[in-house]
Chains A and B, each alone.
Chain A
Amino acid sequence: MPKDKPIEGEKRVFMTGNEVVAWAALAADADIMFGYPITPQNEIMHYWTRLAPKFGRDFLQTEDELSAGFTTLGGVLAGRKAFTATAGPGNTLMQEPMSMAEAMRLPMVAIITQRGGPSTGTVIYSQQEVTMTTLGGNGEGMRIVYSTATHQELFDYTIKAFNAAWKYRFPTFVLGDGYQSKMRESLTIYDPAERGIAIVPPEPYFGKPGVPGVDRPPSQLRNTYNMEEELYEVVEHYLEDYAKVAPEVAEYHAHYVDDADLVVVAHGVVARAALMAVKELREDGYKVGYFRPVTLRPLPEKELREVAGRTKKFLVAESANGQLARLLKEGAYGCTTEMLPLFRPGMGITPEEVIAEAKKILG
């Protein structure tokens, strides 16, 4: 049954990030959302539950995030574009279904709106869910994680997340934060077709035509293996696939890096402050550059290493105690670039703070 188009052509709007995500999920042809209330993610559900019935989409409020994650996997198995959204302690619970998604290559999509931690922390903002979202669960971090910085990106990358998940069959995350969730901002929402963006169609794992074992082999998925060798073979194969698609998936932004003495590295909303700071410093004659990984998994390693090879110092600015920095250190291993911290766990970072820190370093 053809669905009504939620967005005809394109439209200039002024919305909160959570509303943007709901519209983007509609535009990406998402079929069903499973969710459990947690701030600052709630309004994704609130908007979705208002919009979804108008476009033949579905919603279920589950008993917890374990259930939200596992019902999402069930939705995917049935061949529907299923997604969920969570934050903080909910993200912690969500790691269990995420690891099953990795084990079975299930295209689960989750929107993460980071809040302060550890524990219940704050409901406001942080970048402290980077380690958990990129590498959480018992597994090898075979996930795709987009860290957005603007509401326009929230729209663009939510659509992209569904496409990436169903194309590559790795669980995929849009990593936002409480600021992005709650803030209003101008952006253009659009019908992806108008922009030439093809929507990757879902495909059922279960319930294909015919009698299993008679007309077709049964579709049977497991996550338990008897022998070390059996599991090793599966994981090696997945890792190979992941390494193969990583260069295609990885995204980054870089400015003024060619002659920079210092490169400010940041992701998500902090990257906005970093870019503003770098522009101002350049105007004042400082040789400062800007590097921002858009994908935190896989990391744009080649480009990171190129920049690291050209500059003496990185200033890593993040609203966490070095969770991005750890990823960078691994990605740039062997490079001699010094990594200087501007870590504010659970706190926002302003351009002024970045400017002050950069000036202190450059003297």
Chain B
Amino acid sequence: MSLAQTIELAMPRCWRVDTKPHKFCPGCGHGLVLKALGYAIDELGIQDRAVFGCDIGCSLLSWDFFNLDTIQTHHGRTTPVITGIKRANPKLIGIAYMGDGGGYAIGSQHLVNAAARDEKITVILVNNTQYGMTGGQMAPTTLPGQKTETTPYGRDPEKTGFPFQGPEMVAAISRAGAYVARGTVANFRQLQRFLKRALENQMAGNGFSFVEVISACPTNWRTNAEETWNMIEHVLPQYFKVGEIKVPGAPAAQEGEKKDG
């Protein structure tokens, strides 16, 4: 088997082979999330309909990542761009891909309102606890005590708050048809399943779908492989609960819907 064939087998079919190897740092979580997303798209057979939007942040490096029509937007603005595409052509499957800074800070009003309006799009948000692209500043998700370039002595929750609970917020404000989950790059099969379900939810026209993914930024964390893995597997889940938070048709979600009439 040639090297090219070997590489091709290791990649989702919807990946663009000619732009690989990808541009993320070694050990970065973004590549894994996009791999899980690629397999989910392959399984659903939606390469002809899926439209991918990436934010400004390290997610921008994915502007030519897939064999999908792709728009690189502005920092925080991927949600409205994908919303506009979906509203204008509902046959397309809209995927908005962003970082925790993009989704929870500068673009939080878009996330909140897209969820509240129940936009039929899928938002995938990579939580690496800081701003990767700009060199490791504090993000809404930064852990208490975590050192970043703008919290050099560690994040003080008294002054700057606690880690943002994104999926929990989205679950609270979205309707019963919404799908909300938090996955992790530490559990690839589960992540792929969550992403597939999120896309299926959009395809079925159920409602908004949102998946946060716990991810790694070894470059700005300044961690070696072992430390990185420890962060992902043991530290971050103490603050961010992994699992499906809202699933259409599940009893809890239906309760909520009845209550708001």
Contact = CB atoms under 8 A, between A and B. Distances in A.
Contacts of A74: 71, 80-88
Contact of A214 (B67, B70, B71, B73): B67
Contacts of B81: 70-71, 73-74, 77
Interface stretch (B58-66, B157-165, B212-220, B231-239): B58-66
B92 interface: yes
A70 B49 contact: no
B87 A63 contact: no
B92 A218 contact: no
A67 interface: yes
Nearest to A67: B80
A220 interface: yes
Interface residues of A, number: 43
Contact of A78 (B77, B88, B112, B113): B88
B58 to A, nearest CB: 11
B70 A82 contact: no
B8 to A, nearest CB: 13
A334 interface: no
A99 B72 CA distance: 13
Contacts of A96: 74, 77
A211 interface: yes
A60 B87 contact: yes
Contacts of A219: 69-70
A105 B85 CA distance: 16
A62 interface: yes
Nearest to B65: A220
Contacts of B88: 31-32, 58, 74-80, 82
B72 A207 contact: no
B178 interface: no
Contact of B16 (A80, A208, A213): A213
A219 B88 CA distance: 17
A70 B71 contact: no
Nearest to A223: B72
A70 B77 contact: yes
B68 interface: yes
Nearest to B89: A78
B87 A221 contact: no
Nearest to A210: B48
B113 A67 contact: yes
Which of A31, A69, A219, A222 gathers the greatest number of chain B CB atoms within 10 Å?
A: A222
A213 B47 contact: yes
Given A67-B113, A204-B89, A224-B56, A100 B73 contact: yes
B12 to A, nearest CB: 12
A67 to B, nearest CB: 4
Contacts of A25: none
B51 interface: yes
Interface of A: 31-32, 34, 58, 60, 62-64, 66-67, 69-80, 82, 96-97, 100, 204-208, 210-214, 218-224
Given A70-B80, A212-B69, A221-B70, 9 more contacts: A62-B113, A63-B113, A66-B77, A74-B84, A77-B88, A78-B84, A97-B77, A218-B66, A220-B64
7 smallest beta-carbon distances between A and B, as pairs: A74-B84, A213-B67, A71-B84, A78-B88, A70-B80, A63-B113, A78-B89
18 contacts: A71-B80, A71-B84, A74-B83, A75-B87, A77-B51, A77-B84, A78-B84, A78-B88, A206-B71, A212-B68, A213-B16, A218-B66, A218-B69, A219-B69, A220-B64, A221-B63, A222-B72, A224-B56
